[in-house]
Amino acid sequence: MSKTGRTALITGASAGIGAAFARHLAAEGHNLVLVARREDRLTALADELSSQHGVRCDVVPADLADRSAPRAIFEKTTSLGVDVDILVNNAGMSGNSTFADAPFDAHAAEIQVMITAVTELAHLTVPGMKERGYGRIVNLSSLAALLPPGASLLYTGIKSYVLDMSQALDMELRPHGIHVTALCPGFTHSEFHDVMGTRDAATSKLPALLWQSPEDVVREGWRAVNNGTPVCVPGMVNKVTAAAAKPIPTRIGYYLGKTLNPFKL
């Protein structure tokens, strides 16, 4: 059914940036494996996209806070006869209380969803990408990873890991035809702020020019990974903010890291 012959696995696909990635890639003719907790939303989106674009859309309901979820997702794609050529690690979450006040289970869930699952899904899908000589991996980091850390929440440190890990993987995998990009959006209109309980405060206090639509974020991120750009900060305001906050441009830092690879010294 796919016009491109390639399949994208997207986590957190039921809304926001994940759903926007699904719509964008389906419009290009890619088959999809949609992953999120809300099966009803996934099914509705899959029906919509398969009808509109004639692509295959498989639904895999899963909670990535469950330690067993990444392997279960991969085994499901294998049982469906699907090769994952494109991986979009989009699923995310964040606490809305201070570090000390939140139960550790809440912190562990954040780490599982946005660090462990991201890393494990990449580790599971990369061997097949290497065999086929093609792969695209987009890991959702954040503009926060390029700014000074904030108090209390683990979010900045987690997204900094995703940023650094993505660049390291891109250095290793590029010779095999695999591009890896850390997508670092700023404020994006999605359900994320609803879940955190900060939508009213965020939208009322921040000027409109700081906000982007999920569709704009996806267009820039997808273009970046295809162009081999390891770090993508979408939106001019976000680019200026990131540049002002970092003494060394991310691209220069990336090539310094590549040159000083300890495994080649």
Write the DSSP string, 84-138. Answer: --EEEE------SS-TTTS-HHHHHHHHIIIIIHHHHHHHHHHHHHHHHT-EEEE
| Confidence label for 264 from pLDDT (cuts 50, 70 and 90) | very low
Note the pLDDT of residue 250: 62
Active-site pick, 130, 155, 254, 258: 155
- C-alpha distances in Å from residue 90, one per residue of 34, 114, 177, 258: 11, 8, 22, 25
159 catalytic? Reply is: yes
Percent of the chain with pLDDT over 90: 68
Residue 207 is predicted with a pLDDT of 61
pLDDT of 199: 47
The candidate with the shortest Cα–Cα distance to 20, out of 107, 117, 88, 115, is: 88
Q: What is the mean pLDDT of the chain?
A: 88
**Rg of the Cα trace of the chain?**
18
pLDDT in tens, 10-62: 999 999 999 999 999 999 999 999 999 999 999 999 999 999 999 999 999 99
> Which of 3, 130, 159, 161 is the catalytic position?
159
pLDDT of residue 265: 39
* 130 belongs to the catalytic site: no
* Cα dist from 264 to 172, 257, 258, whole Å: 12, 11, 10
Question: Lowest-confidence range among 87-96, 207-216, 223-232?
Answer: 207-216
- Give the rounded percent of residues in the chain with a pLDDT score beyond 70: 82
- CA atoms of 121 and 138, how far apart (whole Å): 12
pLDDT band at residue 256 using 50, 70 and 90 as cut-offs:
low
Answer yes or no: is pLDDT of 193 > 80: no
